[in-house]
Amino acid sequence: MKILYICTHNRCRSILSEAITNHLAPDLIVAKSAGSQPAGAVHPLSLHYLDEAGIATDSLHSQSWDELEDFAPDLVITVCDSAANEACPVWFGNAVQVHWGLSDPSKVQGSDEETEHAFRECINTIRQRVKTLIPLAEQQLRGQPLRDALNERGISKL
């Protein structure tokens, strides 16, 4: 299964989702991330907390969804509300599209402890959601069967 995570700036939540997915299901899922208005750099705390969790970060970079035109995802997951409201490129084709509203830990205003908590909570939420996708990847579902399976499990409503 191929998954494309979309977030407007592709610097935090979509990056975390890409890295965690590739870490948890390297033989089942190929995950990439992109944005409509990429920041051009991954948020340093995203890299820090992924490194701390033992998740590889060496291939992560902020990029435009235009750079992934040949990727042909089976599933497109928007992770921020602004990306969910954007018109997705036509080249997503028949990809199933769902939305995972994730709070942006990089925007937490507060102490270091509050920021740390926000990043760890976001990472844990992504882990749990990815774990619900793994059985669907094992079944090699695509198109309408994938959409039906996501709806049956409430995954598209997360």
Helix (H) or strand (E) holding 48: helix 44-52
Confidence at residue 83, expressed as pLDDT on a 0 to 100 scale: 53
Confidence at residue 69, expressed as pLDDT on a 0 to 100 scale: 86
- Whether residue 92 contacts residue 71, with contact meaning beta carbons closer than 8 Å, is answered with no
Q: Among residues 31, 27, 25, which one has the least CA distance to residue 2? A: 31
Taking only the tens place, the pLDDT of each residue in 60-104 is: 999 999 999 899 999 999 998 665 555 556 557 788 988 888 989
Tokens of 109: 């205003």
CATH code, domain with 71: 3.40.50.2300
- Strands 30-34 and 75-78 turn out to be unpaired
Q: Among residues 50, 31, 37, which one has the least CA distance to residue 134? A: 31
- Containing domain of residue 116, as a range? 2-157
Higher pLDDT, 28 or 93: 28
What's the CA gap between 158 and 153, in Å, rounded? 10
Catalytic residue numbers, as ranges: 7, 80, 88
Confidence at residue 87, expressed as pLDDT on a 0 to 100 scale: 58
Q: Given pLDDT bands bounded at 50, 70 and 90, which one contains residue 153? A: confident
Q: Would you put residue 40 in left (φ > 0), alpha (ψ -120 to 50) or beta?
A: left
- Whether residue 144 contacts residue 97, with contact meaning beta carbons closer than 8 Å, is answered with no
Taking only the tens place, the pLDDT of each residue in 32-66 is: 999 989 999 999 999 999 999 999 999 999 999 99
* Helix 112-138, helix 44-52: angle, nearest 10: 70
Tokens of 23: 């870490």
Q: What is the DSSP letter of 64?
A: B
- Mean pLDDT on 104-111: 92
Global pTM? 0.92
Tokens of 16: 């975390």
Higher pLDDT, 23 or 69: 23
Total domains in the chain come to 1
